[in-house]
Amino acid sequence: MARIALCQVNSGDDPAANLKLVRSGVEAAVADGARIVVFPEATMARFGRPLAPVAEELDGPWALAVAAVAAEHDVVVVAGMFTPADGGRVRNTLLVTGAGQHRGYDKIHLYDAFGFAESDTVAPGASVTTFELDGVVYGVATCYDVRFPELFRALADDGADVVLLPASWGAGEGKREQWEVLVRARALDSGCWVLACGQADPAATGLTVNPKAPTGIGYSLVADGFGRLHAAAGPAPETLVVDIDTAVSAKARTATGALANRRL
């Protein structure tokens, strides 16, 4: 069993203030026994503001401060940040730090959809990323990645039984329904648990944000490899702490044959 916390928060424009969200979220999650604490995409700074001025390398002060929080509490923290890229763009990076880990996953699939063009300011990543903790292999993916089943199957091929999916989902008609369907479908495709941690809905706490930016809808979700929902948040800031039976992943893959029977 693995105990994992999903901290659904509203990030602001200031990385220092968002670091305080990380610290308080980790402290609360550790009090509930979590070994991994997941925060949304864009935890460092929300979308809708210039990203290049806040982007830092993984050995920069923001990432190292998160690493210090993880080390203090002996947990792995996964949180969205931005790292520099060529041409004035940034990379949309998930920081994975703690328990001997300190690495990043750069979002592969960029959100050029629903009238938003992430690729204008963000450069894509190219590498699938996993890490191991307490004998369990975890994969990571980010937000729009959830629309691409091949990534989740690749993570399963690399040994992942759980995929952690931070997001800052764009609002709009039908988008909540798509979010739930996609999370559950990717769990079924891969036989993995998918733990999806979104930015809270700014409207739920009266925050004013750029209406054209994907700043979150909440509704973080936990689905197993059979597509069953085990936990779900509402739109407002909230923390879900869940116990994951990683043996369910192997059972799901055997039952569905979704990996073994694929032909393409």
- 3-class secondary-structure state, position 239: strand
Domain ranges of the chain: 2-256
Largest CA distance in the chain: 49
User: DSSP letter at 88?
Assistant: G
Q: Which residues are catalytic?
A: 41, 107, 143
Q: CB–CB of 243/3 below 8 Å?
A: yes
Pairing of strands 136-140, 116-117: unpaired
Helix, strand, coil share (%) of the chain residues, nearest 5: 30, 30, 40
* Mutual angle of helices 149-157 and 175-190, in 10-degree steps: 30
In whole angstroms, give the CA distance from residue 94 to residue 100. Answer: 16
pLDDT at position 21, please?
Answer: 96
Phi first, then psi, for residue 249 (nearest 5°) are -60, -45
pLDDT at position 209, please?
Answer: 84
- 3-class secondary-structure state, position 163: strand
Give pLDDT tens digits along the chain (264 positions).
899 999 999 999 999 999 999 999 999 999 999 999 999 999 999 999 999 999 999 999 999 999 999 999 999 999 999 999 998 899 999 999 999 999 999 999 999 999 889 999 999 999 999 999 999 999 999 999 999 999 999 999 999 999 999 999 999 999 999 999 999 999 999 999 999 999 999 988 888 888 888 999 999 999 999 999 999 999 999 999 999 999 999 999 999 999 999 998
Domain 2-256 has CATH 3.60.110.10: yes
pLDDT at position 45, please?
Answer: 97
Task: Pull the structure tokens for residue 64.
Answer: 């190292």
